[in-house]
Amino acid sequence: MVVKRRNRLLSLESILDAALACIDESGRLTMAELATRLGTSPSSVYHHLPGRAAIIEALRERVGATIDSPAVDDRDWAGAISAWMRSYRRAMAAHPNLIPLLIAQPMTSESGLRSYDRVAGLLSRAGVAEADIVPWITAFDSFALGSAFDLTAPDQPWVVADRADLPALGTAVTAGPAGRRRADTAFELGLTALLEGVSRSIEG
Amino acid sequence: MVVKRRNRLLSLESILDAALACIDESGRLTMAELATRLGTSPSSVYHHLPGRAAIIEALRERVGATIDSPAVDDRDWAGAISAWMRSYRRAMAAHPNLIPLLIAQPMTSESGLRSYDRVAGLLSRAGVAEADIVPWITAFDSFALGSAFDLTAPDQPWVVADRADLPALGTAVTAGPAGRRRADTAFELGLTALLEGVSRSIEG
C-alpha cells in the first residue's frame, strides 16, 4: 500500500515537473506536448489529472507553496501585506510564463484561496469598506504580477544613448537606477503608494 | 517605383499581421512558425525584417500607434498620465500575449520612446527628483501591464461559493464588483494611489 501510494505521488509530481518545464520554455501548455515530453500518451496523463485546467491549478498550488502566507497581524496589516507582496512577486518571477495561464482561470487552489482570505480579512479589520476589498486585492495582484514580469526586462529597458531628441528620458535613465535596483526601487515605490491609498480610503 | 514601394509595404504589413496572429494564438513567435503561416521561407521573412527582435519591435510600434500619446500639459500632469495609462492598458489588453515579449527586449520603437520621453518630462517638470523618474515610470508600467492581463481574468477569479471556511474572501466577493467593473474599479483605485504617491514624493 505504502509503495503504491508513493508511486502515484511520484508520478503526479513528474507530470507537474514536466508541465512547468513546458510552460517555462514555451509559454504554453498543451496535453499533446506534455505527453510527448513525458514519453507517454495524453490518456495516461488524464489518469492522474482530469485535464489542462487541473494541471494549471496544481501548479498554482505548487508555486503558491513557495509564497509566504500573509501574517494574521491586525496591528500591522500594511506590513503583513507588504511581506506577502514581496514573496508573491519573487515566486512568480521564477515562472513568469505561468502568470497568464493562472490569470485566465478561476482559482480553486486551496493555499491560494486561504492566502486571499487572509488578505481580505486584514483589509476588512483595518476598516476598508467591504465593496472595496476585491478591487484593492485586484490592484495589489496586478501590481505584483506586472512587477514579476518587469524582473524579466533587460538591464536598460530604453535605448536612449546619443538621443538628444529624447532629453527627458535620457536624463532620467542616466540619473536613475538600472538593472535589478531599477526593478526593486520601482516595486517598493508602487507598493508604498498602494498601501497609502488603502490607508487614505479608511480615513476618508 | 511607386508600385514597387507599395508592394514592399504591403508585404511588411502582411508579415506583421501574421506575427501578431501567431503571438495572439500561441503566446510565442518563432521564425519557422511565422514562415509556415505566411506560406514562405524564413529567409524571405529576413529579406524584410532582420529577425525576431525586429519583428517584435515593429509590433511595439504598431500597437503603440493605438495608444494616445501623453499630452504635454504641465498644469495637469496627473491627468495627462492618467489618460495615457488608460489608453495603454486598453491597447495592451487587446494583445496580452505580446506583453511578455515586449518586456523581454530593449525598446527601440520611436513612438514608444517618444511617449516615455513625454512622461519623463511631465514628471520632471512636476518636481519629481531625477533619480526617481525611471522607478516611477516602471511602477506605472508594471501596473498598466498587470491590469491589462487582469482583463483576461474570468468574471469571478475566486471560487468561493459555499465556502464557510473562507469567510473574509466570501464576504468581499459578494459585496464587491464582478467582471469588467471589478477590473475597472481596481485599475482606477491603483492608478489614483500611484499618482498620489508621486504627488507626496514631490511635496516631501
Angle at A154 between CA A150 and CA A157, to 5 degrees: 80
Q: Chain A within 8 Å of B44 (Cβ-Cβ)?
A: no
Name the minimum distance, in Å, from the CA of A89 to any CA of chain B.
12
Q: 3-class secondary structure for chain A?
A: CHHHHHHHHHHHHHHHHHHHHHHHHHCCCCHHHHHHHHCCCHHHHHHHCCCHHHHHHHHHHHHHCCCCCCCCCHHHHHHHHHHHHHHHHHHHHCCCCHHHHHHCCCECCHHHHHHHHHHHHHHHHHCCCHHHHHHHHHHHHHHHHHHHHHCCCCCCCECCCCCCCCHHHHHHHHHCCCHHHHHHHHHHHHHHHHHHHHHHHHHC
For A160-167, what is the mean pLDDT? Answer: 94
Going by pLDDT thresholds of 50, 70 and 90, the confidence category of residue A4 is very low
Going by pLDDT thresholds of 50, 70 and 90, the confidence category of residue A66 is very high
Whether A101 contacts A52, CB under 8 Å: no
Residue A100 with chain B: CB contacts under 8 Å:
27, 96-97, 100, 149, 152
Name the minimum distance, in Å, from the CA of B184 to any CA of chain A.
8
Per-residue pLDDT of chain B in tens (204 residues, 90 and over written 9): 444 444 444 489 999 999 999 999 988 899 999 999 999 888 889 989 999 999 999 999 999 999 999 999 999 999 999 999 999 999 999 999 999 999 999 999 999 999 999 999 999 999 999 999 999 999 999 999 999 999 999 999 999 998 999 999 999 999 999 999 999 999 999 999 999 999 999 987
Q: What is the ipTM of this complex?
A: 0.93
What's residue B27's pLDDT? Answer: 87
Residue B105 with chain A: CB contacts under 8 Å:
154
What does pLDDT average to over chain A?
Answer: 93
Residue B93 with chain A: CB contacts under 8 Å:
none
Q: Report whether pLDDT(A7) > 60.
A: no
pLDDT in tens, B57-89: 999 999 999 999 999 999 999 999 999 999 999
